[in-house]
A and B are shown apart, each in its own frame.
Chain A
Amino acid sequence: MAKAQGAGGNRIVQWIDYRLPFVKLINHELYEYPTPRNLSYWWNFGSLAGVMLVIMIVTGIFLAMQYTPSTTGAFNSVERIMREVNYGWLIRYIHMNGASFFFITVYIHIFRGLYYGSYKYPREFLWMLGLVILLLMMATAFMGYVLPWGQMSYWAATVITNLFSAIPFIGHGIVTWLWGGFAVGNPTLHRFFALHYLLPFVILGVVVLHLYALHTHGSNNPLGIDAKGPQDTIPFHPYYTVKDLFGLMVFLIIFTFVVFYAPNFLANPDNYIPANPLHTPAEITPDWYFLPFYAILRAVPNKLLGVTLFFSSVVVLFFLPWLDTSPVRSGRFRPIFKWLFWLWVIDVFVLGWVGDHPPEGIVIPIDRFATLYYFVYFLILLPVVGKLERPRPLPESIAAAVLHAAAPRRETETERA
């Protein structure tokens, strides 16, 4: 415990810490940081996302050392990485699948926040910083997907940048400006590479702010009630460090399984065909993590409206802290919300399915209905239900709830013995 005061025994560290209390800060924020004692495994996904960000930056830097950002060189340089660079195949497969697993962690992290009301007072700004990270991730992943310059790279870049042409009057000007020419080409690839290298470090900066905001009011928890004193919290280390490490190992088992045994399972085979501006692929689909948004984009026949809905689907999340009118955070104590929430989760999966199918026949009405529910959930159901619903009584405190629940179990165990 003496350690907690300063920076441990090392004199050099002490010397520095007196002048720049960095070790003290880490000690305070990562070791002692009082954390609710009842966090479930759903709380692992924040740290998992952080690990994925680091993995993406490290593998990305090594890829960039061998990658050629030109329309004639890009495809060949990626093949060269896969064939000739030492462990290049490993680094590239980690980076390529890492993007998918990064999104899996972040999406679960967001679903967790939605269910347990982590976006409510006093964590609104923390929530919004998270959404900024999501938007930056989307931009980064989109531009990364363009870099290998396969058929899907080229055509996804063309379709997505073309969305901006829906903006009245200035749309076409904006698209030409984005491309740096009159079609997706060498200047586009160059700038996408520059931005793809830059944005992850911007994300890193926003992650620091996200954590700063988190540590200001502390973590939410499955009960959604505030920690009221030391009996409700435990130090982050060793309790949550060891729990996070265990979760990380389980997560890495699944991740590495895909990297080593199904590295192209999540990829579109067309992206192993070099980009060809003269030949449009039969179907242009984005990576899976964009499919729900892609479905929303195509839900209406009007391009401008589609693009508006597309952007609104993320923007609406920024207003969530004020749209949800219920004073109770955790979905556990909200009998009606609970159902609507799970329906919304299913709805997002349905949108994902829709996004992977050509918009024809039965797919169109399903798309419209699912898009409608996506927005109705936020704009109508959450504001209204928060007012009408009668929440179940909240426990007095975290400690009371946790220890109370544990007590009878211990009794039966001793009885049996």
Chain B
Amino acid sequence: MAKTLAAALLLAAIGLVPTYARAADPPLPNKPEPWPFTGIFGTYNEAALQRGFQVYEQVCSACHNLSHLHYADLAGIGYDEAQIKAFAARSEVTTVNNKGKMFKRPARPSDLFVGPFPNEAAAKAAFGGRAPPDLSTIVKARAGGPDLVYGILTGFTKAPKGFPMPPGTFYNKYFPGHRILMPPPLHPGAVHYADGTKATVPQMAHDVASFLTWASHPNLDERHRMGFKVILFLIVAAAVFYAAKRKIWSRIH
């Protein structure tokens, strides 16, 4: 009986679920990257996250922001206070002093990430109408998640013959409509990894997609660990209540 119920619930859950986790359009590479953070025991690989942050800082941050992150949040991928202070200090924030004068000061760890453009309109104007999207939610905001980011970064090819490409657009296999305004950002050796890893394009794409997954889901490790404990507890509780139920109901059977 319990099994029927569980099956019914699961069927209801799966059957009613539409294809929201639906395949991206156009379809993603059919050999997805082996991400270490998927699955019940999935966790981030800290080295990959740090390499990914390097790629973000040295390449992507020229056009994109991570507006929901504070510099201090980088402690979550293993950087210490001094390193974070140094990262922050590379950007400037404009504030007002108590005499009402605007002035610039180096960013502090408690500041939000500083983006490359003063505002949305400036970003749009720089790229002919579509601003580079904020990357702090990008993995949650695209069907395909990290695979989409990886796909976009490795999906730049020559346009097929006869496919019209207006100036300022680039052909990308995995971008809807294939005409993306982002110039191919990654080239072999674009960054010098602090840990000596060879900076190939797939390597950098993998690392920065991992880092951006962390930026979208900074609590993933804790969530996976806690979930395991909670579900284990519930399974034990279910077994206890099932035994109790059998015992109590045996009085009237």
Contact = CB atoms under 8 A, between A and B. Distances in A.
Contacts of A37: 252
A167 B40 CA distance: 50
B125 interface: no
Contacts of A169: none
Contacts of B248: 238-239, 242
Nearest to A238: B248
Interface stretch (A113-121, A254-262, A311-319): A254-262
A55 B176 CA distance: 39
A182 interface: no
Contact of B140 (A249, A253, A269, A352): A269
B238 A253 contact: yes
Contact of A250 (B5, B133, B226): B5
A17 interface: no
B244 A261 contact: no
A352 B18 contact: yes
B73 interface: yes
A251 B218 contact: no
Nearest to B145: A269
B4 A41 contact: yes
A250 B6 contact: yes
A246 interface: yes
A273 interface: yes
Chain B interface, >50% SS class: helix
B16 A83 contact: no
Contacts, number: 125
A79 interface: yes
B235 A260 contact: no
B12 interface: yes
Contact of A249 (B69, B241, B249, B252): B241
A401 B140 CA distance: 54
B18 A253 contact: no
B242 interface: yes
Contact of B16 (A246, A253, A288): A288
Nearest to B19: A356
B253 interface: yes
Interface in B187-221: 216, 218-219
A325 interface: no
B82 interface: no
27 contacts: A40-B1, A79-B136, A83-B219, A90-B223, A104-B16, A239-B248, A239-B249, A242-B244, A245-B241, A247-B5, A249-B238, A250-B6, A253-B231, A254-B13, A258-B13, A260-B224, A266-B17, A268-B20, A269-B141, A269-B143, A272-B140, A273-B133, A288-B17, A349-B15, A353-B18, A355-B18, A356-B18
Interface of B: 1-2, 4-6, 8-10, 12-13, 15-21, 40, 68-69, 73, 133, 136-137, 140-143, 176, 216, 218-219, 223-224, 226-228, 230-231, 234-235, 237-238, 241-242, 244-245, 248-249, 252-253
Given A246-B242, A256-B230, A269-B142, 16 more contacts: A82-B219, A83-B219, A90-B223, A239-B248, A246-B244, A247-B5, A249-B241, A250-B238, A254-B9, A254-B10, A260-B226, A269-B20, A270-B141, A272-B216, A349-B15, A353-B18
